[in-house]
Structure 1
Amino acid sequence: MSPLPPVKMSVPGAALSEKHDGGSQSEEAERSEIERTGESFAHLNEKAILRKMDIRLIPMLALLYLLSFLDRGNIGNAKIEGLQEDLGLTDDQYNWCLTAFFFTYAAFEVPSNLMLKKIRPSIWLPAIMVAWGVVMTLMGIVHNFTGLLTARIFLGVTEAGLFPGVAYYLTNWYKREEMQLRQAMFFSAASIAGAFSGLLAFAIGKMDGVGGLHGWQWIFILEGIATVLVAVLAFFTLHDFPETATFLTEEERALVVFRLKYQGQSKRNDHAMVAQADDFKWKYVRQAFLDWQIWVNIFVYWGIVCPLYGISLFLPTIIRTLGYESSTAQLMTVPIYITAAILAVIVAYFSDRVGRRSPFIIVPLLIMVVGFSMCIASGNPRVVYGGVFIAACAIYPAFPGVIAWLSNNLAGSLKRSVGMAVQIGVGNLGGAMASNFYRAKDAPRYRLGHGLELGFIGAGIVASLILLVGYSTANKKRARKMEDGDLGRYTQQKLSEKGDKAITFRYVY
């Protein structure tokens, strides 16, 4: 699980990740050892350990992602502060600057997650953060289309590793039934970033003329400097993996590791618990690229991320074209994002509580349909604002769900790392598409943009239903095989290597 040498733990069974030795120890003896290990942790307060992890991990991760989302989306705020006019950009050139970011952002996500397996998170994540903070600062001194386009391309390269890296990083600490709430707490920073961005842009825009710079230049410069400063702090505050967590006792570290290795097994066959594979083998990378569920999940991801980027990149512009002043438009984005952040955490709590993902994705997708339909159907500014409000309040709760859903159903840390990077990398090409949905010539109704969002949402609903049926069918087949005694055909090592394809593994749906 960790690139670092594991801490030696005296708790029985802490080293149960060792491969099956081909017969020197019987299956029955190994299962008994697992059961004894589980019992040795009975005196520990698991909820208290989770609270310690939440306090030490989530706030810093949320701050990192807040700055990431702030820095990639603040170009929308800069636009209505005069960026396009001052640089002499055509509408097509501006959209190219938005689009170019996502090509490099998508291309570098899988390599970044592979690097995360080799380099400690406390080094890799702050390092890429320093890099994009420098790029963001330099974006404040560009003078033309070429400069802005180049900066956006490099911003995509440097930011690529943060979100898939943190999404995977959390799976090395929390069990799958605990994941969505933590993903939501971390991702809700994006909602806060949206609100914060509007407030910051409103305040920084007043600096127009200071130092001979425009207000939009100060937006990039100050937010870039803030990113670098937080990155320096992150070098000293981020923890790597449970095996080396100094805020946990030796027994607590052993329990966290044990919980993660034996998750995802059939509740009716606890005696058949199988450790997830943690070693680096290229076959696990290949399996990730060939797994059907990842590619179907990407369509669900697009159904959420296209509206997400449509909202984050164009919301100030959409509101301004309804007849409001720039400063008012900036402030009117704030209540939308605050409400969306609160709802994301509430929905995630109930999703984890009931142990299901699909209902908490499909229902928000249907609500998005209502919101964007309101935007298309009416030219009344209040109705359009209400439609965007409703859509955003469904988008932000759904996004952590689609990330948690796939991570729950990929077993083996390397396959999960690569699979999540593929999902987020290819999925974020939806951002490249959404960057071109809202054309200036379509203002103020933006019917084409809203219509395209509805098309992707519809595809997301269909893909969600395909996954739901596929997972349910696979679980039933595996249950029948277990009842027929097929488990005896496999060694513990073979089951571990098969990961989420093992008959003992159960998909979450």
Structure 2
Amino acid sequence: MYYKRHEFQQRFFLLWAAGLVAGAFGGLLAYALYHMHGLGGYSGWRWTFIIEGLLSIVSALSAKFLIAEWPERAKFLSSEVKELLKELNACDAGEGARMDRLNGAAWRRIMSDWKIYVVLFVPSIVNSLGYSDIESQVHSIPTWAVTAVVTMMVSFLSDCWRHGYGFVILGVVFASIGYIILLCRGPLSRGLNVYVRYMVVFFVTTGCYIAQPVAIVWMASNLSGHYKRAAGLAIQVGFGNIGGIIASNIFNRDDAPLYTVGYGTSLAMIVFCGIMSTIFTTGLLIENKKRDQRKRDDRLQLDEDVLDDLSHDDPRYRFSL
């Protein structure tokens, strides 16, 4: 609510970057905590849980004081700034295109929005390279660092060009190349070059971390009204976390070190992500064209209280590609 649609990707990257930094420094921290093995009678992995758990708790407690209130209720904003933000958001969304009341009709619009469900589907390699577990933690650091830089560049360009689809497909291509190489190469015992597999980690990690944040913001930027945007993000991110359950069942020890089932399933899902993103874009193009041809103008005849709560179903709203 503080930024226009095409100012959101770069800000979201800062949040997303926390995960990337955690991936990089988490490996370094785990490496350091490993050497606490035996201290106080605890194993190294126990110290990892204790220290990292405490950091998570402290971060969660600080959220109460760091997360900003809605603009209209923010005490640190003057009335003039609040009014300016309201006008900027109204201009960005188009005349109308709000959802300020969360009633039965609003919930029906939220839960029946095809755009939310289409993008639901958009989103231990290092350990198989022959390194020990602790070496794997250290070797994962450069992959997260490179991924953070690339994702930052993509976030800037996505906002600058007001475009999401092409960057999602770019991420799909990178990740697909990585998984294809993994599926086409044999295990280390058959002469596989360890550096090739390490390179693949960069392809897969960078590809996935390009596609995921862009897809999330792209969907959110096409949901107007803070209630619908909040509900859409919750559904998308919530269902997206199911991926962790799937991963734990497709990467089995019996499959090591090839992990054919795991890599094959991952490749299929990343390709499916590209297909669903294409369907999403096609749907937005068709809907924008219908609105340009004034085929949705009958909605303007609705009662004013209904029209004010149409969200992006308001025919004056245009979707972002």
Inter-CA distance 386–395: structure 2 relative to 1 (3 Å threshold)? same
Inter-CA distance 492–505: structure 2 relative to 1 (3 Å threshold)? farther
Q: Contact 2:223 / 2:232 at 8 angstroms: preserved in 1? A: yes
The structural deviation recorded for 1:244 is 3.3
The answer to whether 1:296 aligns with 2:118 is yes
Which amino acid is the alignment partner of residue 266 of structure 2? E
Name the SS of the counterpart of 1:508 in structure 2. Answer: coil
Once the two structures are superposed, the pairs formed by residues 10-159 of structure 1 within 5 Å of their partners are none
RMSD between aligned alpha carbons? 1.9
Name the SS of the counterpart of 2:134 in structure 1. Answer: helix
Q: Which residue of 2 aligns with 1:178?
A: 7
Q: Which residue of 2 aligns with 1:445?
A: 258
1: CA distance between counterparts of 2:7 and 2:308? 22
Which amino acid is the alignment partner of residue 337 of structure 1? W
Q: Contact 1:285 / 1:418 at 8 angstroms: preserved in 2? A: no
Q: Which residue of 2 aligns with 1:401?
A: 214
Name the SS of the counterpart of 2:249 in structure 1. Answer: coil
Which amino acid is the alignment partner of residue 36 of structure 2? M
Q: Which residue of 1 aligns with 2:131?
A: 324
1: CA distance between counterparts of 2:97 and 2:293? 22
2:292 to 470, 476, 479: 479
Q: Which residue of 2 aligns with 1:237?
A: 66
Q: Contact 2:101 / 2:309 at 8 angstroms: preserved in 1? A: no
Which amino acid is the alignment partner of residue 277 of structure 1? M
The answer to whether 1:360 aligns with 2:167 is yes
Aligned length: 315
Q: Contact 1:189 / 1:341 at 8 angstroms: preserved in 2? A: no
The structural deviation recorded for 1:420 is 1.6
Inter-CA distance 325–282: structure 2 relative to 1 (3 Å threshold)? same
Which amino acid is the alignment partner of residue 499 of structure 1? S
The structural deviation recorded for 1:492 is 4.9
The structural deviation recorded for 1:460 is 0.8
The structural deviation recorded for 1:234 is 3.1
| 423-432 or 253-262: bigger deviation | 253-262
1:199 to 28, 31, 35: 28
The structural deviation recorded for 1:487 is 7.3
1: CA distance between counterparts of 2:226 and 2:310? 12
The answer to whether 1:489 aligns with 2:301 is yes
Q: Contact 2:99 / 2:106 at 8 angstroms: preserved in 1? A: no
2: CA distance between counterparts of 1:431 and 1:282? 33
1: CA distance between counterparts of 2:132 and 2:299? 67
1:276 to 79, 84, 98: 98
The answer to whether 1:467 aligns with 2:296 is no
Inter-CA distance 337–210: structure 2 relative to 1 (3 Å threshold)? same
Q: Which residue of 2 aligns with 1:500?
A: 312
Which amino acid is the alignment partner of residue 202 of structure 2? F
The structural deviation recorded for 1:488 is 5.8
Which amino acid is the alignment partner of residue 7 of structure 2? E
The answer to whether 1:454 aligns with 2:286 is no
| 180-189 or 320-329: bigger deviation | 320-329
The structural deviation recorded for 1:341 is 1.1
Which amino acid is the alignment partner of residue 442 of structure 1? D
Which ranges in structure 1 are unaligned for 5 or more consecutive residues?
1-171, 266-272, 305-313
Compute the TM-score of the two structures, normalised by the length of structure 1. Answer: 0.59
Q: Which residue of 2 aligns with 1:373?
A: 180
Q: Contact 1:475 / 1:506 at 8 angstroms: preserved in 2? A: yes
Inter-CA distance 219–503: structure 2 relative to 1 (3 Å threshold)? same
Compute the TM-score of the two structures, normalised by the length of structure 2. Answer: 0.92
Inter-CA distance 181–264: structure 2 relative to 1 (3 Å threshold)? same
Q: Contact 2:97 / 2:313 at 8 angstroms: preserved in 1? A: no
Q: Which residue of 1 aligns with 2:149?
A: 342
Q: Contact 1:340 / 1:393 at 8 angstroms: preserved in 2? A: yes
Name the SS of the counterpart of 1:263 in structure 2. Answer: helix
Inter-CA distance 490–442: structure 2 relative to 1 (3 Å threshold)? same
2: CA distance between counterparts of 1:437 and 1:497? 44
Q: Which residue of 1 aligns with 2:89?
A: 260
Q: Contact 1:202 / 1:327 at 8 angstroms: preserved in 2? A: yes
